[in-house]
Structure 1
Amino acid sequence: MKKFYWSAPRRSACPIIPVFLPFHGCPAHCVYCAQYTQTGQGPIPFPDILDKVGTVLRARALAGLPPPELAFYGGTFTSMPEKEQRQCLDLATYAIQRGLICSFRCSTRPDSVDVPTLTRLRDAGCSTVELGAQSFADAALTAARRGYGGAAAAACNLAKQAGLNLGVQLLPGMPGVSPEVFICDVSAALRMGADMLRFYPCLVLAGTELAREWRAGGYRPWGMEVCLASLAQGCHGHGAQNVGYAWGWHLKPFLTERCWPGSVHPALGERVMARALLMAVRQEADRGRLFALDAPLRCQGYFWGHRGELRAAWAALGLGSDEVRFVEGEEVRLYL
């Protein structure tokens, strides 16, 4: 018998309530970005956004629901006007003090953080900063018109030094990011102490510069199989590090209707983790056939792949439904 540690993606200790702030604080539009399309939320007066958040939090409390984590997404939080940042932090601090939320997190650009900023966030109750690194490759950042190079590594170090949990957002498939570059990006993020990786496969959205490049033949999006294989390889081997993973886009009609060929699927995370686990078992089995396998119970929902798409691959290893058991624990046990 051989065994190895395997962990499904860690979930947040409390539910997350996203607060979308499209384009707030962004110094420019990246070639792939269409936040109004991505969020399904058009321009809304800033005070109205915060008023709605307060209403939602009070309603949750009255319903006896557990305190969530507030998440300020979209835009560049730490580059918003000082007044808007202060309003968000005041709301978060107020909500924490009254038990309406357990903490908050925000997303921002790597070139928009410094020690005073991170300290202010931490002191206001921020638990996690998600850095929109997208890639650590300067050539890719230039191709996507991110407007900086080399800032991501320094920003990661600053976030960890401030005592914050570090999330790193990567954009596999964006201009300049091949599967090989993406795997290097994952390794770099883990080397810098990322507690969580968020993968957003690059989509070609109507109205973006990237859509114009695609129409002109200057950009070729990853296909679904390339995306699944690359993301699975990015996860494979990292389960033992207890790193959290978050996936892609929430697939809704307003998004798919304006999305051209790309890597979008409602079960993206499950499909990726199923392939990552299969990769790990193949490696541990040394290409041999298996008599039986015990897998962690939490893998049961994705083990066979979306709609059983991996059953044939497992059968090639000698495993069918009768040879696989789902048990408590974090180990995969192989019976060779």
Structure 2
Amino acid sequence: MSDIIFYHPEPAPRTRHIRPVFIPFAGCPGRCVFCAQTAQTGVGPAALSERYSQLQKELQLAYEAGESPFELAYYGGTFTALDDMWQEKFIALGRQYRHKGLVTSIRCSTRPDCVDVAGLQRLHRMGLDTVELGIQSFSNDALTRSGRGYTAHTAVTGCRIVREAGLGLGIQLMPGLPGHSEGAFLRDVRTACSLGPDMVRLYPCLVFEGTLLASWWRDGRYRPWGVARASVMLGMALNTFWKHGIRVIRAGVAHVPSLAGKVLAGAYHPALGSMARGEALAGLVSFHTLMLGGKATELYAPRRFQGEFWGHRNTLVPRWARHGLGRSNVHWWDKSFFLLS
């Protein structure tokens, strides 16, 4: 075999913009060992009436300013555990601006142990389109040590309930939780794939100031994954999800001003997502070089991958060299496929 042609497996990216509405801790039955919603969202706890009034003003201003349409997303709390009145008011508000053309769709985040078919069908009829479940892991050990309060069976059942209710499904995983290994994370990925979500978010577990996990970290009872370890594992996960046609809409916690000085340890880096994509690309091309006996003489690759091919600060250069590839025999073109020889 002299030439191998292959394509990148990543599904086409979404084009809709998401407008997050944060309601930290609202509806949450307890506090997980890693939880730091105020730091992560930049929004402190507030009365739902206050947040609702604020959102009313924000949506009206956006409408009057002629902003581009967006998807409205209720994040940061356990939406389906709110009082029914508040669930309905927030969905109805989104539907009001959907009729005006400002909101394209509505989603919410919640826990897998706080969903039921009848309740989700009610919200679906009102205008809810997608539910993102904060699964975190399908490992009973990791779930127990993290204080999630539900089992792997509940996590799987929650995903199936969302589908049965006719809603889009998003799954959030948190690799590196207490009691979590690389093998457990890869099993989580395979389980998630078997449930057929529309999208996945991958947030490596971080140690935030003010959490129980911070105490464990200081006592030496918990050690989070570092950037190098996380980027490799995320890269493996990306390839698996992509091959199943599942979009990964986030890999790594976003760098935002509210997190300044709040992250004590863990895989927190502004380029983590890019590093993970580079690892995924390296895994993809390396797999095909094995068909050539492990060494390649030339590679033509789509130009859009040039920024991640060599890795962050050229960290992947030595790996490419082991496969016979370097800057002299890697070429960039405008075609959509890779050609390896």
Give the TM-score normalised by structure 1.
Answer: 0.93
* 1:20-169 matches, cutoff 5 A: 20-149=22-151, 150-169=153-172
* 1:292-311 matches, cutoff 5 A: 292-311=298-317
Which residue of 2 is the match for residue 247 of structure 1? 251
Question: Residues 241 and 247 of structure 2 are in contact (CA less than 8 Å); yes or no, is this contact kept in structure 1?
Answer: no
Which residue of 2 is the match for residue 325 of structure 1? 332
User: Is structure 2 residue 222 aligned with structure 1 residue 215?
Assistant: no
Deviations 1:26-51 (A, max 9, x none): 00000110111111211233233233
Deviation of 1:82 (Å): 1.8
Deviations 1:43-77 (A, max 9, x none): 23323323333333334444443210011111111
User: Is structure 2 residue 281 aligned with structure 1 residue 274?
Assistant: no
Which residue of 1 is the match for residue 322 of structure 2? 316
Which residue of 1 is the match for residue 185 of structure 2? 182
Bigger CA drift: 284-293 or 127-136? 284-293
Bigger CA drift: 266-275 or 287-296? 287-296
* Separation in 2, partners of 1:231, 1:11: 18
Equivalent position to 2:263, from 259, 263, 267: 259
Which residue of 2 is the match for residue 232 of structure 1? 235
SS at match of 1:104: strand
CA RMSD in angstroms comes to: 1.9
* Separation in 1, partners of 2:5, 2:164: 35
* Separation in 2, partners of 1:78, 1:297: 44
SS at match of 1:106: strand
Deviations 1:68-92 (A, max 9, x none): 0011111111001222212211111
SS at match of 2:300: strand
* Separation in 2, partners of 1:23, 1:47: 15
Could you tell me which runs of 5 or more consecutive residues in structure 2 were left unpaired when the two chains were aligned. none
Amino acid at match of 1:36: T
* Separation in 1, partners of 2:72, 2:26: 17
* Separation in 2, partners of 1:104, 1:182: 29
* Separation in 2, partners of 1:227, 1:269: 10
Question: Residues 207 and 263 of structure 2 are in contact (CA less than 8 Å); yes or no, is this contact kept in structure 1?
Answer: yes
Amino acid at match of 1:223: G
User: Structure 1 residues 161, 109: closer, same or farther in 2, change over 3 A?
Assistant: same
User: Structure 1 residues 182, 53: closer, same or farther in 2, change over 3 A?
Assistant: same
Which residue of 1 is the match for residue 296 of structure 2? 290
Question: Residues 10 and 243 of structure 2 are in contact (CA less than 8 Å); yes or no, is this contact kept in structure 1?
Answer: no
Deviation of 1:10 (Å): 4.4
SS at match of 2:109: strand
* Separation in 1, partners of 2:323, 2:260: 36
Amino acid at match of 1:113: V
Deviation of 1:15 (Å): 0.5
Amino acid at match of 2:315: E
SS at match of 1:277: helix
Deviation of 1:118 (Å): 1.6
Question: Residues 16 and 71 of structure 1 are in contact (CA less than 8 Å); yes or no, is this contact kept in structure 2?
Answer: yes
Task: State the number of aligned residues.
Answer: 334
Deviation of 1:251 (Å): 1.1
Deviations 1:1-42 (A, max 9, x none): 212331446433310101111000000000110111111211
Bigger CA drift: 293-302 or 282-291? 293-302
Question: Residues 58 and 100 of structure 1 are in contact (CA less than 8 Å); yes or no, is this contact kept in structure 2?
Answer: no
* Separation in 2, partners of 1:302, 1:63: 37
Question: Residues 205 and 260 of structure 1 are in contact (CA less than 8 Å); yes or no, is this contact kept in structure 2?
Answer: yes
Question: Residues 105 and 128 of structure 1 are in contact (CA less than 8 Å); yes or no, is this contact kept in structure 2?
Answer: yes
Give the TM-score normalised by structure 2.
Answer: 0.92
User: Structure 1 residues 120, 281: closer, same or farther in 2, change over 3 A?
Assistant: same
SS at match of 1:300: helix
Could you tell me which runs of 5 or more consecutive residues in structure 1 were left unpaired when the two chains were aligned. none
Deviations 1:109-144 (A, max 9, x none): 001111112212322222221111111111111111
